[in-house]
Amino acid sequence: MTINRTRWHGEAVGSCTVLDGYLDQAERSISVGVREMACRLNGGGTNFDRTAENLKHATHVQASGETLRQLIEDEGKQVLKAFQDGTLPITWTAKDCKVDPKVAESPTRVYLGCDGVMAPMVGATEKAKRREKVKAKRRRCGKKRRALPRAKAGADQKYKEFKLVTYYDEDVDHRLVLGTKGNCDEAGRVMRRLASRIDLSAADEKVGNIDGAAWIRGQVEGRNIPLDGLGLDFYHLSENVHKARRVVYGETDVSGMVWAGELLHAFKHEGYEAAWEQLVGWRAKLRGAKRVAADTLLNYVSDRREMILYPEFAAKGWQIGSGPTESCCKTLTQRLKGAGMRWDADNAEAIMALEALRESDLWKTYWQTCLTATS
C-alpha cells in the first residue's frame, strides 16, 4: 500500500526534512519481505508472469509480470552493487576452509574457478516488436499513461559470453561466486576483489582449476592472484583427446577407445613428458586429415604444458577437476535460458547476481542487511 503524504516546499529554500527519508523507506510500495519472495520464486520460475501468479497465491500480493520484472531486475542490480562495493558481508574467509574440519591441525585449502558461459541476448528487431506490443496493450487499456522510457539498444549478436569467478573449499561447504557481463579485464577485477574479501592469501594451499582458456591464465598472472598451483581441468583435456579420437578412429572403434584411455592414463599418472612421447609417436603414423587432428591435439596440449600437473596435484591431494565451477555456470544461467528467452546484458547480469547469492549461501545475509537498512 502506498501512503500519500504532504510535502512542503519553499520556492527560495526548497525542502529538506530528515524524517522524509526514513518515511520514504518505510512506505515503499513493495516491502522487503515481498521483494525477497518475488526474487525467490523467480529463481525457480520460467517467466515473470508465472512468478506473478505464484506470488499472488503465496502472499496474496497482486502485481503484473512486468512490475515484477522491473522489481526483480532492479533487486539483482542492487545485489551486484553490494558485491562490488563490499557492503554485502561475506560469512567466511580462507581460514575457515580446512581440508578436514575435524582435525585441528588440518591445513586450509581454497580453490579458484573461472569460466565463460553464453546467454541469449535480445536484438534490435525483437526489441522493437516487444515495444510495439507494450504500446498496443497500453492503448487498449484506454488510460493515460506516462511515456515509455527511451528504448535500450539491442544486442548485435544472439548470444553473449558472461564471465564467472568462484572460490570454494575442498567439500564446497564454503563458496563465493559472481558473474559479470564485462570483458576479461572485468573478470580479473572480480577475481581480485573476491580474493581480497575472503583473504585468499591466508590459505595454506591455494589452487586453481580452469578449462585452459588463455584469458583466464592471463588474468590470474596479471592480477597476481597468489596461487600455489594452476591446473588444467582433466575433463577438458579428455574432451580434446576424444575429439581427436573420433576423427582418427571413428565414433565407436574399440582400438580408438583403448588409445584414448591409455593416453589419459599417462597424463593422469605418469605426467606430461610420458604422455607427450606417446602423442608424438602416434602422430608420426598418421596422414591427411588424421594428422591435422593430431596436430590440433598436440598444439592444445603443448600450449597448456605448465598446467598439466596431474601427478603433482594428486600427490598433494588436490582436485584435478573444475566440477564446482561448471555447476555454477549452469545454475547462474538456468533462469536465462528458457524457451524463447532473450535479455539485455545488464538485466541478465542482475538475474545472475541473485542466483550468485544462493550459490554463495548469502541469501539470508543479503535480505537481513536490507531489513536492517530500512529499520
Q: How confident is the model at residue 4 (pLDDT cuts 50, 70, 90)?
A: very low
pLDDT on residue 129? 82
Cβ atoms of 183 and 160 closer than 8 Å: no
Position 350 pLDDT exceeds 80:
yes
Q: Which residue has the cell 528458457?
A: 338
For the stretch 53-58, contacts whose Cβ atoms lie closer than 8 Å and that sit 24 or more positions apart, written own/partner, are none
| 143-165 pLDDT tens trace | 777 777 787 787 888 999 999 99
Q: Return d(Cα 165, Cα 18) in angstroms, integer.
A: 41
Rounded Cα–Cα distance for residues 172 and 363 (Å): 17
> What's residue 11's pLDDT?
55
> 141 in helix, strand or coil?
helix
Task: Please report where in the chains the cell 604422455 appears, as a residue.
Answer: 275
Is the CB of residue 307 less than 8 Å from the CB of residue 91?
A: no
Q: Please check the confidence at residue 7 and state whether its pLDDT lies above 70.
A: no
Task: Provide CB contacts within 8 A for 145, sequence distance 6+.
Answer: 138
Average pLDDT, the chain: 90
Place of cell 593430431: 294
> Rounded to an integer, what distance in angstroms lies between the CA atom of residue 229 and that of residue 208?
6
Which of 1.10.357, 3.30.70, 3.40.190, 3.30.420 is the CATH number of 94-140+153-231+323-360?
3.30.420
- Average pLDDT over every residue of 271-293: 97
C-alpha grid cell, residue 220: 590470474
Mean pLDDT is lowest, of 71-75, 149-153, 205-209, for 149-153
Reply yes or no on whether the pLDDT at 235 is more than 80: yes
Distance CA(35)–CA(13), nearest Å, equals 36
pLDDT exceeding 90 applies to what percent of the chain? 76
Q: How confident is the model at residue 345 (pLDDT cuts 50, 70, 90)?
A: very high
C-alpha cell recorded at residue 185: 579485464
pLDDT of 84 strictly over 50 = yes
User: How far apart, in whole angstroms, are the C-alpha atoms of residue 164 and residue 179?
Assistant: 4
Crossing angle for the helix pair 32-43 and 345-359, nearest 10 degrees? Answer: 90
pLDDT value at residue 375:
66
Q: How far is CA 102 from the centre of its chain?
A: 31
DSSP strand pairing (109-120 vs 205-210): parallel
Region 101-107 average pLDDT: 93
Instruction: Reduce the secondary structure of 36-84 to three states and give it as a string.
Output: HHHHHHHHCCCCHHHHHHHHHHHHCCCCCHHHHHHHHHHHHHHHHHHHH
| Per-domain boundaries in the chain | 94-140+153-231+323-360, 236-307
Q: d(Cα 117, Cα 88) in Å, to the nearest integer?
A: 25
Which segment of 43-57, 102-116, 320-334 scores lowest on mean pLDDT?
43-57
Q: Which residues of 89-128 are buried (b: 16+ CB within 10 A; e: fewer)?
A: ebebbbebbbbeeeeeeeebbbbbbbbbbebbbbeeeebe
Measuring CA to CA, which residue among 116, 360, 356 is closest to residue 236?
A: 116
User: Residue 238 — very low, low, confident or very high, per pLDDT cuts 50/70/90?
Assistant: very high
d(CA 102, CA 363) in angstroms, rounded, equals: 27
pLDDT at 12: 52
